[in-house]
């Protein structure tokens, strides 16, 4: 649920677009071990959405998600 809340703010779904709130909620969920949130945070760092682009942090979060079997994270790591 936390990762969904973050995604809603990042995309402006049903709420005002707010990168700060979105990345805050996603980070909380990612730190609790939710692979989807880890994947999304990794992509935020990769693309600069809500964070300054940071390849090292993107890799860190994508690896955490990939280690839990997240297939999209595995593919994004290959492209990174």
Q: Assess whether pLDDT exceeds 70 at residue 24.
A: yes
Domains of the chain with bracketed CATH: 2-79 (1.25.40.10)
pLDDT-derived band of residue 5, with 50, 70 and 90 as boundaries? confident
> Would you say 22 and 29 are in contact if contact means Cβ atoms under 8 Å apart?
no
Give the gyration radius of the chain's Cα atoms: 12
pLDDT (tens digit per residue) in 40-80: 999 999 999 888 999 999 999 999 999 999 999 999 999 88
The b-or-e profile of 13-41 (16+ CB within 10 A means b, else e) is eeeeeeeebbbbbbbebbeeebbbbbbbb
Whether the predicted pLDDT of 6 surpasses 70 = yes
pLDDT at 2 over 70: no
What's the whole-model pTM score? 0.89
Residue positions counted in the chain = 80
């Amino acid at each position: 649920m936390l990762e969904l809340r973050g995604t809603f703010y990042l995309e402006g779904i049903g709420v005002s677009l707010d990168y700060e709130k979105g990345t805050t909620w996603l980070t909380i969920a990612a730190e609790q071990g939710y692979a989807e949130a880890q994947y999304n945070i990794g992509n935020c760092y990769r693309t600069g959405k809500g964070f300054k682009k940071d390849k090292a942090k993107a890799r860190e979060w994508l690896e955490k998600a990939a280690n839990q079997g997240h297939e999209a994270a595995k593919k994004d790591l290959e492209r990174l």
